[in-house]
């Protein structure tokens, strides 16, 4: 368990700090919160106190706290200081070394690593002053997460959105990297995301896989010291630290990238590979026509997992995923045998798993079935990585 000091700044994304507290606690961390004056316009101290089950600190001018040098103690007792959301103003004050409220005072007083997740209007983020301040903070050793691109609360579009809470949890977990390098010297191949099977130059067959679970597993393995080759289908996710990433589009490309990555001690096949590809990809955009027959003729894609199971270089531990919407365990058991995998991680994807941040999985092995409680995908990844380390 690590202790995280979370500073909540004053922006519309402050409400996501509430979700972040839950994610961090689910991952086993203790969270203490500091709420800035600005932040208090968006969320209440009561909400943060209830979610963190800890006292929330709001002012430098608390006689009782300061009699015990509260701001020094707060900043020193944490393993990591996180600012989320980090507003343009807070970033500027940090970069300038100001100490004019509790948040900036303890940011100046801390001797612990600091990670910030900026969120603000796109023009404020791209403003040379903010970019200068961010560069200054990075130079000072602060981990500054890149904001996401997308539609903003203010109606504009571009970089400035707070990254997904699961991405922030993953970065925090990696900043708190466990000292245990239980997978040092191992090479592990991970596949993740969907595949895109082209129909013509502008269309493709795909599925709803976001790649989040596979990326979280790659990150968790790398943190334990493994050399990780992550073969990723088309997803919009940052490469986890210390992971070698191969981007691919189609199942065929994914299959080749996996074969090229061998030998490996283990392979974790998380990708939602399309079972079918279009036999004759049209060189030009297909036209509807009035009486034209439905234009697609499909051919079976190679099963990467089953192929790997029979490869002379088969990894010692071969793990498949099974996304099912009914009779989850029956299908998973059958899939384990049919595909020749050692383990199958089975999940019920009839709810909001695909694209979501949580997952309830069953680990199906030759010994039987273990059902895990619903966990953030990052926590599933951590637990699976520990099991892999035990098995190797
Ligand atoms: N998989 C693969 N190559 C494929 C299809 C699937 O490597 N062409 C892997 C996936 O990465 C996953 C596992 O096989 O680890 C299960 O995939 P899934 O699509 O659930 O299984 P299917 O064989 O397609 O079975 P079904 O369609 O009956 O669910």
Find the catalytic residue in 18, 33, 84, 154: 154
pLDDT in tens, 297-318: 999 999 999 999 999 999 999 9
Q: For CATH 3.40.50.1950, list the domain ranges present in the chain.
A: 3-176
Smallest CA separation from ligand 1 atom 17, residue: 322
State the CB neighbour count (10 A cutoff) for residue 126.
Answer: 13
Is the pLDDT score of 36 beyond 70?
yes
pLDDT beyond 60 at 34: yes
pLDDT (tens digit per residue) in 198-248 = 999 999 999 999 999 999 999 999 989 999 999 999 999 888 888 999 999
Say what the pLDDT of residue 178 is.
58
Model pLDDT, residue 179: 55
Cα of 125 to ligand 1 centre, how many Å? 42
Quote the ligand 1 centre to 368 CA distance (angstroms): 20
CB-defined site of ligand 1, < 6 Å: 191, 251, 269, 271, 273, 275, 301, 303-305, 320-323, 335
Q: Which residue has the higher pLDDT, 186 or 379?
A: 186
Query: Ligand 1 atom closest to Cα of 251?
Result: 8
Confidence of residue 81 (pLDDT cuts 50, 70, 90): very high
Per the annotation, the verdict on 154 as an active-site residue is: yes
Are 56 and 49 a contacting pair, CB within 8 Å? yes
The distance from CA 62 to its chain's CA centroid, rounded to whole angstroms, is 37
Please indicate whether residue 295 or residue 281 has the higher confidence score (pLDDT).
Answer: 281
Mutate to test the pocket of ligand 1, among 261, 271, 364 (most ligand atoms within 8 A of CB): 271
CB 78, CB 5: distance < 8 Å = yes
Give the Å distance between the CA of 361 and the centre of ligand 1.
16
Dihedral angle, C-alpha 155, 159, 165, 167, nearest 10 °: 160
Distance of CA 288 to the CA centre of its chain: 40
Numbered ranges of CATH 3.40.50.10300 in the chain:
187-391
Alpha carbon of 322 to ligand 1 centroid (Å): 7
**Regarding predicted confidence, which is higher, 47 or 77?**
47
Ligand 1 geometric centre to CA of 272 (Å): 7
DSSP 231-298: EE-S---PPPTTEEEEE-SSHHHHHHHHHHH---SEEEE--B--SEEESS--SSPPP--SSPPP---E
**Quick check: 124 pLDDT over 60?**
yes
- Percentage of residues in the chain having pLDDT higher than 70: 95
Beta carbons of 328 and 304 less than 8 angstroms apart? no
pLDDT in tens, 128-143: 999 999 989 987 878 8
Domain 187-391 has CATH 3.30.980.10: no
Residue-averaged pLDDT of the chain = 91
CA of residue 348 relative to chain centroid, distance:
20
Confidence of residue 64 (pLDDT cuts 50, 70, 90): low
The domain 3-176 having CATH identifier 3.60.21.10: the answer here is: no
Residue nearest to atom 12 of ligand 1 (CA): 321
Q: Name the pTM for this structure.
A: 0.65
């Amino acid at each position: 368990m690590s202790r995280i000091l979370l500073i909540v700044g004053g922006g519309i994304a402050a409400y996501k700090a509430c979700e972040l507290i839950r994610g961090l606690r689910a991952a086993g961390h203790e969270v203490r919160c500091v709420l800035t004056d600005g932040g208090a316009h968006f969320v209440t101290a009561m909400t943060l106190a209830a979610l963190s089950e800890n006292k929330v600190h709001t002012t430098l001018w608390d006689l009782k706290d300061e009699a015990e040098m509260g701001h020094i103690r707060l900043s020193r007792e944490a393993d990591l200081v996180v600012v989320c959301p980090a507003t343009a103003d807070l970033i500027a004050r940090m970069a300038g070394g100001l100490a004019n409220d509790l948040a900036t005072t303890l940011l100046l007083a801390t001797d612990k690593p600091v990670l910030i997740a900026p969120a603000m209007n796109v023009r404020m983020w791209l403003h040379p002053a903010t970019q200068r301040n961010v560069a200054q903070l990075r130079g000072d050793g602060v981990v500054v997460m890149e904001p996401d691109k997308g539609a903003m609360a203010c109606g504009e579009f571009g970089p400035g959105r707070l990254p997904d809470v699961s991405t922030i949890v993953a970065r925090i977990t990696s900043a708190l990297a466990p000292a245990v390098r239980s997978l040092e010297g191992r090479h592990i191949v991970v596949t993740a995301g969907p595949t895109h099977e082209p129909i013509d130059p502008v269309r493709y067959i795909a599925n709803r896989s976001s790649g989040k679970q596979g990326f979280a597993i790659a990150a968790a393995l790398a943190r334990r010291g493994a050399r990780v080759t992550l073969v990723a289908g088309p997803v919009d996710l940052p490469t986890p630290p210390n992971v070698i990433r191969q981007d691919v589009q189609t199942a065929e490309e994914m299959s080749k990238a996996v074969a090229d990555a061998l030998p490996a001690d283990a392979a974790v096949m998380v990708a939602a590979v399309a079972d079918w590809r279009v036999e004759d990809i049209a060189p030009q955009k297909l036209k509807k026509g009035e009486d034209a027959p439905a234009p697609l003729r499909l051919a079976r894609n190679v099963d990467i997992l089953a192929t790997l199971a029979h490869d002379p270089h088969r990894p010692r531990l071969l793990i498949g995923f099974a996304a099912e919407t009914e009779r989850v365990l029956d299908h998973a058991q059958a899939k384990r045998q049919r595909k020749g995998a050692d383990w199958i991680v089975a999940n019920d994807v009839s709810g909001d798993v695909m694209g979501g941040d949580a997952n309830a999985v069953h680990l199906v092995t030759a010994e039987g079935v273990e059902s895990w409680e619903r966990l953030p995908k990052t926590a599933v990844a951590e637990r699976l990585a520990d099991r892999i380390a035990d098995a190797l």
